Amino acid sequence: MGIITRSIANNIVTSGKLDGTDGLNGVIPASNIANVSLNNVTALSASLGDAIESVATDPVSPSEGQLWYNTTIGVLKVYKSLGGVWAAGGNMNTTRTTAGLAGTQTSAIAAGGFAPGPSSATELYNGTSWTSNPTGLGTARYELSALGTQTAALAVGGYTTGAPPIVATVESWNGTSWSPSPSMNITKADAGTAGIQTAGLTFGGANPTGILSATESWNGTSWTTVNSMNTARSYLAGCGIQTSALAFGGYVPPVTTSTAATESWNGTSWTSVNSLNTARRALGGAGALNTAAVAFGGNTTTVTTTATEEWDGTSWTTNPNSMGNSQQNMRGTGTQSAALSATGRAGPPTFTLSNATEEYTDPTLAVRKVTLT
């Protein structure tokens, strides 16, 4: 390969990137250069001291994204994610789809759904199995949404058998039973949600007037209409908190079209950001903030997908580890690193209700050698 002169950065700039415009210039023997990596570096200049830590042994408990140079073996290393994996969880007791799902991977609540027909059934998940609660929703419904925790949740909107068929009904969960709560300003089903029982957000969805872009904010007492989404849609996924939410995927007019559109909410307004790699509707999603989320499953308009993507605050990355079940109309809850999927259905061409639960875990961090390509 010959002699190669390499410029090595000594500054860390935006998003942890290395500034390669200055630093150390040195001649590296060809024997130390591989086609896709820099190997066997014997020393780094002191000018890099503020950018990359030099250590004799790898850190015992590094943070994700941490970069260091191991002086003993002469290797530049980083602690990075290897991608999350899916595993089967305990099956639900009531087979259904489009229920409201809230909580965490190890402490979740599911309520309502299509079983077939509107259901009021409520179940609690402990990370291993579901337990049926003796008290169900006051209003049986499906294609509803939920937000909050296993002990303090809200169930919002959905379809019923009454008139009107789509409702603005909201019920509050205290860990034991549901009780009526102030209704939303507009009726909706299949909306996205974010937040907790005392500080929540609903966005998008559909009602007899069409597909919605409307956003409503909940302060624990009443609902307030706030700035609308840029892209009207239903059957979308949402996650986050009242001041830091993410909306992705869904139906857009005409209703046969799936979208990859993603929007970020900062507590005041929505901003269109980078789209999903796979456009889909009726998907699941989870995430604690608008900077870290996971999207999974759904319908691409022609097929049901098992595709999983992770959001890093800037862009979506497709995870090579797909879901175990090809499903749509599921609901998701939890965080990017510990998500839960439940209440889905298979299809098309057949649409079979499912009681399957899947758990997504992404603690698979490992030390890896930095390669230059």
Q: Which residues neighbour 121 within 8 Å (Cβ) at sequence distance 6 or greater?
A: 93, 94, 96, 111, 112, 113, 115, 132, 136
Q: Which of 20, 79, 74, 6 is nearest to 51 (CA)?
A: 20
Residue-range domains of the chain with CATH: 4-81 (no CATH), 85-109+121-131+191-361 (2.120.10.80)
pLDDT band at 66 (very low <50, low <70, confident <90, very high): confident
pTM for the whole structure: 0.77
For tokens 């029982």, name the residue: 197
Residue of 359, 278, 372, 368 whose CA lies nearest to 319: 278
In the chain, the percentage of residues whose pLDDT exceeds 70 is 82
Say which residue, 83 or 45, is predicted with more confidence: 83
Q: What is the pLDDT of residue 70?
A: 85
Would you tell me how many other CB atoms lie within 10 Å of the CB of residue 186?
18
pLDDT digits (tens, 9 = 90+) for 266-308: 999 999 999 999 999 999 999 999 999 999 999 998 888 999 9
Residue 193 has φ and ψ, to the nearest 5°, of -140, 160
**Token pair belonging to 243:** 């001041």
Residue 17 CA, chain-centre distance (Å), reads 25
Of all helices (H) and strands (E), which one includes residue 79? Answer: strand 75-81
Residue among 109, 167, 103 nearest 139 (CA): 167
Cα of 303 vs its chain's centroid, Å: 21
Please report which confidence band the pLDDT of residue 77 belongs to, taking 50, 70 and 90 as the band edges: confident
For 123-150, what is the mean pLDDT?
A: 97
Contact 107, 359 (CB under 8 A): no
CA–CA separation, 56 and 74 (whole Å): 9
Confidence (pLDDT) at 233: 97
What are residue 75's phi and psi, to 5 degrees? -130, 135
Virtual CA dihedral for 130, 108, 307, 285, nearest 10 degrees? 150
Kindly report the number of other CB atoms within 10 A of residue 73's CB atom. Answer: 14
Distance separating alpha carbons of residues 81 and 359, to the nearest angstrom: 17
The rounded radius of gyration (Å) of the Cα atoms in the chain is 24
- Dig out the tokens for 204 from the structure: 């998008």
* Over residues 170-199, mean pLDDT: 98
User: For the residues of 97-146, what is the DSSP string, one character each?
Assistant: BS-EEEEETTEEEEE--BSSSBB--EEEE-SS-EEE-S---SS-BBS-EE
pLDDT of residue 39: 46
pLDDT of residue 176: 97
- Residues 243/267, Cβ–Cβ less than 8 Å: yes
- pLDDT bracket for residue 75 (50, 70, 90): confident
- Residue 29, pLDDT > 70, answer no
Q: Which residues contact 248 (CB under 8 A, 6 or more apart)?
A: 236, 237, 238, 260, 261, 262, 263, 276, 283, 285, 293, 295, 311
Q: Are 226 and 218 in contact (CB under 8 A)?
A: no
Classified as helix, coil or strand, 341 is strand
State residue 17's pLDDT score: 56
User: Is the pLDDT score of 54 beyond 90?
Assistant: no
Q: Looking at residue 43, what is its pLDDT?
A: 54
In this predicted model, what pLDDT tens digit does every residue of 221-241 receive, in sequence order? 999 999 999 999 999 999 999
Q: Pick from 38, 96, 16: which is nearest to 313 by CA?
A: 16
Q: In the prediction, which pLDDT does 4 show?
A: 44
| Residue in the block written with tokens 């900062």 | 266
Q: Which residue has the tokens 């191991």?
A: 70
The predicted-structure confidence for 143-182, as pLDDT tens digits, reads as follows: 999 999 999 999 999 999 877 899 999 999 999 999 999 9
Tell me the H-state helices in the chain.
none
The amino acid present at 164, given as its one-letter code, is P
> Mean pLDDT, the chain, as a whole number?
87
